[in-house]
Amino acid sequence: MFGLGGGSITLFHFRGIRVSVDWSWFIVLFLVILYMTNFFESLLGTGGTTPFLYGVLSAVGFFGSILLHEFGHAVVAERNGIGISGIQLWIFGGMARMDREADSPSTELKVALAGPAVTLAIVVVLSLIGIGTVGWTEFREAAVQETRSDASALMALIAWLVTINALVLVFNLLPAYPMDGGRVARAISWWRSGDRTAATRFAANLGRVFGYLFIGVGIALLVSGRAFAGIWLALVGMVINGSARGAAMQTAISSRIGDVRVADVMDREPVAIPGDLSVEQALDEYFLRYRWPWFPVVDAGRRFLGLLMRDRADEVPEFERAGSNVSDFVDHDIGLFVRDDTPLDALLANQNLRRLGALMAVDAEGRLSGVVTIEQVGRALRDSTAGP
């Protein structure tokens, strides 16, 4: 699943992609560890440290699988020229934030199916390992969490990861936008109609139908006494419904903006710091002069290197500032810039634009060509939606 947003805690960066967790992720982490620890206590017939360690390994394996799923989206998106500003784990799984929408139905389809393809590969590989090690019957018993099975704890862990990833695969392929299956439905509709806006509207409406369906089934489970499953499914339905409604609203706004590009509204003369300038000069000649919290940094050919934050420059010891180049301290996060030919509507949900108040714009060769601010995007939005 990909596309949502929110506050988060950074875990690490990989290939310029920020990997983070939302606070709600810790709830699921706790529940998975608790549930699997109880299972392994029953399987092993003992308490203590060992069942707990297997519970932790279960949680690590589960969230590792979710991360690989999202990296599947990210890798294919980047290969098709779509930047990924971050991957976030939260209470309902994971999400990869794309800097812009796909430019064709085929690209949309490839990006949407990349995550499920990774999950399917995980299921197949782990199943082959399990069946090849203990045989089909014993592995099947372990997969349905039969505590009387003769399977080892490690094999039970592998079997559980197969089961949970299979469930994730099936769930994600339901045509409920903005889940992966909903993205596939939008790609097919877009291919058949040739109209991305209409396709998004169709997929969003389909997503809302599934959202209400999940809420209804969740309420039915709650009434029947299955409280946890009912509440969980109802919450999933509410999230899907809200996301689909938001996508429909954004599509309506995007259709009003039309063909406006970043280059049409950006400031074409941004103040930039040369990468070979010393940190001492940058502080004196830029930060103290302009009083801005950050500046873009460029090389001799005006290629964008990243952003230099005031806090990062201040952290450099005073005796090292004169001999330290600015280029050694820049933030290289890929989400800090966009192509200047990017449609403006692609920035409406951009998290870095909201966080920094602006994004750097680069041309096809990566040279800094301007800066687009959140005020410029808002002004273009107001102008495009203003009625007579």
| Mean pLDDT for the stretch of residues 75-86 | 85
pLDDT digits (tens, 9 = 90+) for 368-379: 999 999 999 888
Residue 248 CB neighbour total at 10 angstroms: 18
CATH of the domain at 336: 3.10.580.10
Residue 145 is predicted with a pLDDT of 60
Q: Which residue, of 242, 257, 272, is where some domain finishes? A: 257
Q: Let me know whether 124 and 197 are in one domain.
A: no
Determine, yes or no, domain membership for 227.
Answer: yes
Determine, yes or no, domain membership for 178.
Answer: no
Tell whether the model's pLDDT for residue 72 goes beyond 90: yes
| Mean pLDDT for the stretch of residues 177-198 | 91
| Mean pLDDT for the stretch of residues 349-363 | 84
Q: Let me know whether 214 and 269 are in one domain.
A: no
Determine, yes or no, domain membership for 52.
Answer: yes
Beta bridge partners of 33: none
Tell whether the model's pLDDT for residue 172 goes beyond 60: yes
Q: Let me know whether 270 and 360 are in one domain.
A: yes
- Three-state SS sequence of the chain: CCCCCCCCEEEEEECCEEEEECCCHHHHHHHHHHHHHHHHHHHHCCCCHHHHHHHHHHHHHHHHHHHHHHHHHHHHHHHCCCCEEEEEEECCEEEEEECCCCCCHHHHHHHHHHHHHHHHHHHHHHHHHHHHHHCHHHHHHHHCCCCCCCCCHHHHHHHHHHHHHHHHHHHHCCCCCCCHHHHHHHHHHHHHHCCHHHHHHHHHHHHHHHHHHHHHHHHHHHHCCCHHHHHHHHHHHHHHHHHHHHHHHHHHHHHHHCCCEHHHHCECCCCCEECCCEHHHHHHHHHHHHCCCEEEEECCCCEEEEEEEHHHHHHCCHHHHCCCEHHHHCECCHHHEEECCCEHHHHCCCHHHHHHCEEEEECCCCEEEEEEEHHHHHHHHHHHHCCC
Quote the tokens at residue 132. Answer: 């090849």
Q: Let me know whether 279 and 293 are in one domain.
A: yes
Q: Let me know whether 144 and 20 are in one domain.
A: yes
Q: Let me know whether 81 and 159 are in one domain.
A: yes
8 A C-beta contact, residue 45 and residue 31: no
Longest dimension (CA), the chain: 75
Q: Let me know whether 88 and 169 are in one domain.
A: yes
pLDDT digits (tens, 9 = 90+) for 14-54: 877 888 888 888 988 999 999 999 988 988 888 889 999 99
Q: Which domain holds residue 353?
A: 262-385
Number of separate domains in the chain: 3
Strand order in the sheet with 304-309: 273-274, 294-298, 304-309
Residue 197 is predicted with a pLDDT of 80
Q: Let me know whether 128 and 19 are in one domain.
A: yes
Q: Let me know whether 249 and 167 are in one domain.
A: no
Q: Let me know whether 216 and 282 are in one domain.
A: no
Determine, yes or no, domain membership for 237.
Answer: yes
| Mean pLDDT for the stretch of residues 57-78 | 94
Tell whether the model's pLDDT for residue 387 goes beyond 70: no
Q: Which residue, of 146, 173, 200, is where some domain finishes? A: 173
Q: Let me know whether 274 and 213 are in one domain.
A: no
Determine, yes or no, domain membership for 128.
Answer: yes
Task: Output the average pLDDT for the chain.
Answer: 87
The percent of residues in the chain predicted with pLDDT above 70, rounded, is 91
| Residue 6's pLDDT band (cuts 50, 70, 90) | very low
| Mean pLDDT for the stretch of residues 258-263 | 81
Q: Which residue, of 257, 292, 313, is where some domain finishes? A: 257
pLDDT digits (tens, 9 = 90+) for 99-116: 677 888 999 999 999 999
Residue 373 is predicted with a pLDDT of 92
Strand 294-298 to 273-274 pairing: parallel
Q: Let me know whether 212 and 122 are in one domain.
A: no
Determine, yes or no, domain membership for 342.
Answer: yes
